[in-house]
């Protein structure tokens, strides 16, 4: 029963990893940009939520109403003012600029908030649980987290394939120049894609902060989890990313069950194994 | 009208000869540092040499072979740990253990390359980071090497390196200098060999390079394994100087990757001179600003972004675009056979 419990906890944790990954997957799909600062932006969102929650006395879930638009606005501005200048055939500039951004955010947070671990307090929901079977109790928070992840992926899927904005995303993704000729403003579309990506990052940051304590240095770890979920699931497939997150979560939960020191290591090993046997991920959709 | 017979192609230049001579004199002066420099200065110089070596190696990967890795700290840490393991369990003299640690790093990098070469571009970058994290977490599990809290090199091994503290420090100093010279020489010879133009072709246009018959995978593989071998040697030398190792210090992305990338970007990526200039600038900044703590790193990040956006060729690229000068004779020029003047 211990093992069943571990696997189920892992599946639910996978929802959080899918949230880490969804924004990464989205901007890679639209503009082939890999944002190395993605994890640090998740941590930044958690700190913004912390500041709002403590100064206004709000529940972190209510703080989302402010965090999401703030992060989206930040994403749009960042893309228009900085990242658009780096896009082109050469992969080096976007990589190095987002790497620099990651260092700036991390150290900026250290200056503002120190290295002390912080946590978002969501009240009684944190300890609420449902008893499914005699020996199986699930926390309400992990279930909620997983449900939100599924909803976010479904929402992104809808935007990408059913809305006018998604049509613009797919057009610039297929051919930037032709899309531009058809009257789409590439710079603006990229800005919107980054805004959407960081809106998801805002949600991910709040859930991260409620689930565990956080400090300014943990961003790169979150980037790596998100990245692993994307690659395991297969590039360009949002539902695949959710599956990748779940596989990663289960691998970590099983690793932790064997030896607490193996939790993260087990996830990395599963990632490397997938890379060895299915280099394009389990459910690939786009050509690299 | 110039006939082809009147043109010859050369790589050397007067600037390169002067630079070579100055470099040789500088090297002689630095070799003698144990006789004129204080202990703290020698430590700083050793650190500069090792950072210079790391920067040159990262530059050859990212600037020439198009392998943008943000995970070379995997090999710094692996080299350091292998030095400790060989010295502590194998009873091998640490100086002998440095090249052995490099070889082990090289073998490990072959296995890693087979896996992560499946990822391209930016995904390759993060893949290298995952490998480094895997190494870090794995070494944290090895209790014989101190687990998560790390271990120190036993006193008996340290004293066996040389006579007295001064003798020991001089030997470690010469070791660091030797590694930096080895790395620079290896890269220079590589770029002067047949592989050099092939690498530049890959850097400038992979598709065109392939159509000229260059085996891209093989070229990249050789560069990756070679650079990782030398990076592991540098790592071994770094931790021989520190005499203490822990997973977080050995596999620090900040110390062994972020700073190294900063050095190369500031100095000028894709040139041999760039990392040298970048290392000097980095240490000048560090010695003046490091007291600022996190703000100092914040400034480094900002400077790197501004350089990348406004002057992607770095400081050396700026100099070269104005003066057309080269310290390492690597760019072929056409000259008139008789007058020896540029055409």
Where is pLDDT greater, at B97 or B29? B97
**Three-state SS for B67?**
coil
Query: How far from chain centre, in Å, is Cα A193?
Result: 14
pTM: 0.90
Where is pLDDT greater, at A4 or A203? A203
Contact B122 A85 (CB under 8 A): no
Q: What is the ipTM of this complex?
A: 0.86
pLDDT at position B2: 60
Range 37-56 of A in CB contact (< 8 A) with B: none
pLDDT at position A31: 87
pLDDT band at A47 (very low <50, low <70, confident <90, very high): very high
> Residue A154: pLDDT above 90?
yes
Average pLDDT over residues B143-168: 87
The packing angle between helices A186-211 and A2-31, to 10°, is 160
Q: Give residue-wise pLDDT tens across range A12-21.
A: 999 999 999 9
Beta bridge partner(s), residue A133: A136
Where is pLDDT greater, at B4 or A249? A249
pLDDT at position A286: 57
pLDDT at position A179: 86
Which of B122, B141, B309 has the CB atom closest to A85's CB atom?
B309
**Three-state SS for A128?**
coil
To test the contact with chain A by mutation, choose from B55, B62, B108, B123 the residue with the greatest count of A C-beta atoms within 10 A, namely B123
pLDDT at position B98: 95
The packing angle between helices A2-31 and A164-174, to 10°, is 70
Chain A nearest-CA residue for B119: A279
Q: Give residue-wise pLDDT tens across range B75-89.
A: 999 999 999 999 999
pLDDT band at A83 (very low <50, low <70, confident <90, very high): very high
pLDDT band at B222 (very low <50, low <70, confident <90, very high): very high
The count of residues in chain B is 343
Tokens 């900026």 — which residue? A108
Q: Give residue-wise pLDDT tens across range A257-274.
A: 999 889 999 999 999 999
CA angle B303, B308, B313 (to 5 degrees): 115
pLDDT band at A124 (very low <50, low <70, confident <90, very high): confident
A138: closest CA of chain B, how far (Å)? 29
Beta bridge partner(s), residue B335: B8, B342
Numbers of helices and strands, H then E, in chain B? 17, 4
A124: closest CA of chain B, how far (Å)? 35
> Residue B340: pLDDT above 70?
no
Where is pLDDT greater, at A129 or B325? A129
Which of A91, A97, A272 has the CB atom closest to B121's CB atom?
A91
pLDDT band at A288 (very low <50, low <70, confident <90, very high): very low
Closest Cα partner for B122 from A21, A36, A174, A221?
Answer: A36
Chain A nearest-CA residue for B131: A268
- Residue A228: is it exposed, middle or buried by C-beta count within 10 angstroms (0-12/13-18/19+)? buried
Q: Give residue-wise pLDDT tens across range B21-45.
A: 888 888 888 888 888 888 889 999 9
Contact B309 A93 (CB under 8 A): yes
Which of B70, B138, B295 has the CB atom closest to A111's CB atom?
B295
Please, which residues have CB within 8 angstroms of residue B151's CB and are 6 or more apart in sequence?
B84, B88, B145, B244, B245, B246
pLDDT at position B250: 95
DSSP state of A115: S
Closest Cα partner for B80 from B61, B104, B60, B56?
Answer: B104
Closest Cα partner for B82 from B311, B238, B214?
Answer: B238
A97: closest CA of chain B, how far (Å)? 5
Where is pLDDT greater, at B11 or A232? A232
For residue A226, give Cα distances in angstroms to A22, A26, A158, B269.
Answer: 8, 12, 21, 29
- Residue A158: is it exposed, middle or buried by C-beta count within 10 angstroms (0-12/13-18/19+)? exposed
Average pLDDT over residues B125-144: 92
Q: Are A61 and A206 in contact (CB under 8 A)?
A: yes
B121: closest CA of chain A, how far (Å)? 7
pLDDT at position B210: 85
Beta bridge partner(s), residue B334: B9
B8 phi, psi to nearest 5 deg: -125, 155
Contact A227 B126 (CB under 8 A): yes
Range 255-274 of A in CB contact (< 8 A) with B: 261-262, 264-265, 268-269, 271-272
Residue A227's CB: how many other CB atoms inside 10 A?
A: 29
Q: Give residue-wise pLDDT tens across range B238-293.
A: 999 999 999 999 999 989 998 999 999 999 998 888 999 999 999 998 888 878 87
Where is pLDDT greater, at A134 or B190? B190
Average pLDDT over residues B34-61: 92
pLDDT at position B5: 65
Q: Residue A54 corresponds to which tokens in the numbers above?
A: 């403590």
Contact A268 B130 (CB under 8 A): yes
> Residue A173: pLDDT above 90?
no
pLDDT at position A181: 86
Residue A79's CB: how many other CB atoms inside 10 A?
A: 27
Q: Are B102 and B230 in contact (CB under 8 A)?
A: yes
> Residue B12: pLDDT above 80?
no
pLDDT at position B233: 97
pLDDT at position A51: 96
Average pLDDT over residues A220-246: 92
A111: contact with B, CB 8 A cutoff: yes
């Amino acid at each position: 029963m211990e093992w069943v419990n571990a696997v189920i906890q892992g599946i639910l944790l996978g929802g959080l990893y899918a949230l880490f990954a969804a924004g990464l997957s989205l901007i890679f799909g639209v503009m082939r940009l890999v944002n190395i600062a993605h994890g640090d932006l998740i941590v930044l969102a958690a700190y913004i939520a912390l500041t709002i929650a403590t100064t206004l006395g709000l529940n972190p879930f209510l703080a989302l109403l402010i965090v999401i638009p703030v992060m989206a606005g930040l994403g749009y501005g960042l893309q228009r003012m900085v990242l658009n200048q780096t896009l082109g055939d050469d992969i080096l500039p976007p990589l190095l600029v987002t790497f620099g951004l990651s260092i700036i955010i991390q150290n900026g947070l250290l200056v503002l908030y120190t290295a002390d671990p912080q946590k978002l307090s969501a009240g009684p929901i944190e300890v609420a649980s449902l008893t499914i079977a005699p020996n199986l109790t699930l926390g309400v928070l992990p279930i909620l987290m997983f449900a939100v992840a599924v909803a976010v992926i479904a929402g992104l899927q809808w935007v990408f394939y059913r809305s006018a904005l998604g049509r613009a995303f797919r057009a610039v993704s297929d051919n930037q120049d032709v899309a531009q000729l058809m009257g789409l403003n590439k710079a603006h579309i990229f800005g919107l894609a980054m805004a959407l990506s960081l809106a998801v990052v805002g949600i991910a940051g709040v859930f991260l902060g409620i689930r565990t304590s956080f400090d300014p240095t943990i961003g790169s770890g979150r980037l790596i989890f998100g990245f692993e979920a994307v690659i395991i699931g297969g590039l360009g497939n949002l539902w695949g990313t959710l599956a990748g997150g779940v596989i990663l979560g289960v691998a970590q939960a099983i690793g932790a069950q064997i030896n607490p020191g193996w939790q993260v290591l087990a996830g990395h090993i599963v990632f490397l194994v997938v890379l060895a046997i299915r280099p394009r991920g389990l459910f690939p959709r786009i050509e690299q | 009208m110039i006939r082809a017979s009147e043109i010859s192609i050369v790589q050397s230049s007067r600037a390169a000869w002067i630079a070579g001579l100055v470099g040789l004199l500088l090297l002689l002066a630095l070799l003698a540092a144990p006789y004129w420099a204080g202990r703290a200065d020698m430590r700083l110089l050793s650190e500069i040499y090792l950072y210079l070596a790391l920067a040159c190696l990262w530059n050859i990967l990212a600037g020439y072979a198009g392998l943008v890795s943000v995970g070379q700290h995997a090999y710094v840490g692996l080299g350091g740990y292998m030095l400790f393991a060989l010295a502590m369990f194998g009873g091998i003299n640490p100086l002998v253990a440095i090249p052995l640690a490099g070889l082990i790093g090289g073998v490990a990098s072959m296995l890693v390359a087979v896996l992560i070469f499946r990822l391209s571009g930016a995904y390759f970058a993060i893949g290298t980071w995952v490998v480094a994290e895997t190494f870090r977490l794995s070494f944290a599990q090895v209790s014989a090497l101190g687990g998560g809290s790390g271990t120190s090199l036993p006193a008996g091994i340290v004293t066996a390196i040389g006579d007295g503290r001064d003798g020991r420090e001089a030997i470690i100093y010469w070791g660091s200098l030797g590694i930096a010279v080895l790395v620079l020489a290896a890269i220079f010879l590589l770029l002067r060999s047949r592989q050099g133009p092939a690498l530049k072709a890959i850097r400038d246009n992979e598709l065109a390079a392939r159509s000229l018959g260059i085996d891209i995978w093989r070229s990249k593989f050789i560069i990756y394994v070679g650079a990782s071998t030398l990076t592991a040697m540098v790592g071994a030398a770094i931790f021989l100087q520190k005499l203490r190792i822990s997973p977080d210090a050995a596999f620090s992305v900040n110390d062994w990757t972020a700073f190294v990338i900063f050095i190369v970007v500031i100095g000028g990526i894709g040139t041999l001179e760039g990392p040298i200039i970048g290392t000097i600038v980095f240490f000048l900044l560090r010695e003046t600003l490091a007291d600022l703590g996190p703000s100092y790193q914040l400034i480094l990040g900002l400077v790197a972004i501004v350089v990348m956006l406004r002057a992607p060729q770095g400081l050396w690229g700026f100099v070269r675009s104005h003066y057309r000068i080269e310290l390492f004779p690597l760019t072929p020029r056409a000259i008139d056979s008789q007058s020896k003047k540029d055409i």
